């Protein structure tokens, strides 16, 4: 590569400049403080660790495995992975490093790395912030997590016109079990549901056991009342299907009671990370944004890889995405050089107000601080802040 191009960054990786970095850092601090106020304890996890540890989710989520950078450890010769998601690391902490009896709540914020962008016009190095709740399989835990996610979005100033999507993998999964379908057929159905390809779905399910129910699941995926009317009695009375259906309905009702003005949509065939999630799934969207602002769901048994299976639910978001389009210009005050006690006291007092103060060096003048917005000037023996 020519020397003139050595400053270029890889695709999907970018610098964050002061105007946006200030917004992102403020949002990170504000979000972590908010999560702490809800009882979620902050943890830091390593950027890289043995792939066997990170594979606690990769075994059930091939997308995560493909997103993980892998390198050889020069000390041990073992395979290492650069974290593509922090959830498996928090599960390791819950299982062995900080094993709490009963319910444990954790939050985190840190950069993760993906081999490829996970969506259109997204970074390969998101600043992931999230919360996880371990030790409760109740609907109350799911409702708490959904409420927490929406509240966090509100704290970030994005509550206007947001939309909540709810789904539950248990409906599709229980129907697959009832019909006794193969893994290959399951994958084909999942693909048809994801593409919302109703004509193809009708043709594909025509000769399947419970074929009309599989079609109905896609046809009325966003209407629980219509599902109840059109699904067969055998399916509706199946214990696993009924439990998933009731959990989805109850969660919707409880979230709506807490957020009466929130638009809530249902999609029972939203099967993203289908093999990873075990129950309720949720995501928040905003107008004019293709990707979810935040998303999560239930993933019971996550600690089994570490010898301590626990029910769990959680969500995460990308702080870069939450802060997209927001910029801030800091108020920067320039002070003249000098060691006069009154000047130094004025500088200290200005900084105590939360303002940035830069004192000139050597032969510098105001032109040496092109982003300065104010200056300290001596007016009749008093140091005063004036706009430049």
DSSP per-residue codes, 239-283: HHHHHHHHHHHHHHHHHHHH-TT-EEEE-TT--TTTTT--SEEEE
The β-bridge partners of 364 are: none
Q: Strand 69-72 relative to strand 48-50: parallel, antiparallel, unpaired?
A: unpaired
Any idea what the Cα angle at residue 257 is, between residues 256 and 261, rounded to 5°? 55
What is the spatial distance between Cα 55 and Cα 60, in angstroms, rounded to a whole number?
9
Angle between helices 211-219 and 169-179 (to 10 degrees): 170
Residue 101 assigned ligand-binding role: no
Closest by CA position to 282, among listed 134, 156, 130, 384: 130
Residue 168: C-alpha distances to residues 141, 171, 175, 344, 369 (Å): 15, 6, 12, 62, 55
Length of the chain: 388
Dig out the tokens for 263 from the structure: 């638009």
d(CA 125, CA 122): 9
Spatial neighbors of 263 by CB under 8 A, at least 6 apart, are: 162, 163, 164
258 annotated to a ligand binding site: no
86 is in an annotated binding site: yes
- Does residue 28 have a known ligand-binding role? no
Report whether 131 contacts 106 (CB < 8 A).
yes
Q: What is the dihedral of CA 249, 253, 258, 262, to 10 degrees?
A: 80
Residue 132 marked as a ligand binder: yes
Known binding residues for L-histidine are 85-87, 128, 132, 272
Known binding residues are 85-87, 128, 132, 272
């Amino acid at each position: 590569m020519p020397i003139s191009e050595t400053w270029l960054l890889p695709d999907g990786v970018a610098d964050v400049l002061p105007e946006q970095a200030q917004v992102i850092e403020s949002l990170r601090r504000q979000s972590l403080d908010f999560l702490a106020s809800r009882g979620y304890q902050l943890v830091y996890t390593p950027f890289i660790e043995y792939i066997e540890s990170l594979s606690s989710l990769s075994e059930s989520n091939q997308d995560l495995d493909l997103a993980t950078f892998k390198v050889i450890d020069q000390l041990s010769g073992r395979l290492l992975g650069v974290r593509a998601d922090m959830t498996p690391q928090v599960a390791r902490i819950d299982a062995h490093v900080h094993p709490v009896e009963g319910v444990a709540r954790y939050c985190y914020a840190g950069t993760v790395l993906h081999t490829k962008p996970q969506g259109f016009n997204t970074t390969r190095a998101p600043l992931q912030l999230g919360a996880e709740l371990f030790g409760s399989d109740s609907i109350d835990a799911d409702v708490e997590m959904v409420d927490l996610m929406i509240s966090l979005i509100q704290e970030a100033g994005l509550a206007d016109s947001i939309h909540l999507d709810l789904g539950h993998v248990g409906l599709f999964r229980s129907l697959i079990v009832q019909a006794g379908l193969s893994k290959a057929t399951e994958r084909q159905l999942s693909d048809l549901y994801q593409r919302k390809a109703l004509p193809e779905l009708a043709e594909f399910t025509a000769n399947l056991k419970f074929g009309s129910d599989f079609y109905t699941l896609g046809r009325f995926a966003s209407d629980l009342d219509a599902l109840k009317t059109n699904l067969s009695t055998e399916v509706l009375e199946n214990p696993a299907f009924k439990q998933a259906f009731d959990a989805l309905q109850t969660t919707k009702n409880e979230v709506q009671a807490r957020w009466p003005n929130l638009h809530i949509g249902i999609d029972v065939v939203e099967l993203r990370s289908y093999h990873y999630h075990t129950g309720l799934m949720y995501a928040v969207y905003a107008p004019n944004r293709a990707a979810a602002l935040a998303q999560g769901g239930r993933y019971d048994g996550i600690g089994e890889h570490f010898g301590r299976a626990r029910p769990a639910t959680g969500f995460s978001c990308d702080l870069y995405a939450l802060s997209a389009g927001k910029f801030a210009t800091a108020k920067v005050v320039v002070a003249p050089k000098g060691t006069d006690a009154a000047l130094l006291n004025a500088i200290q007092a200005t900084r105590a107000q939360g303002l940035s103060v830069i004192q000139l060096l050597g032969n510098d003048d105001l032109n040496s601080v092109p982003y300065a917005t104010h200056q300290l000037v001596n007016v009749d023996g008093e140091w005063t802040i004036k706009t430049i």
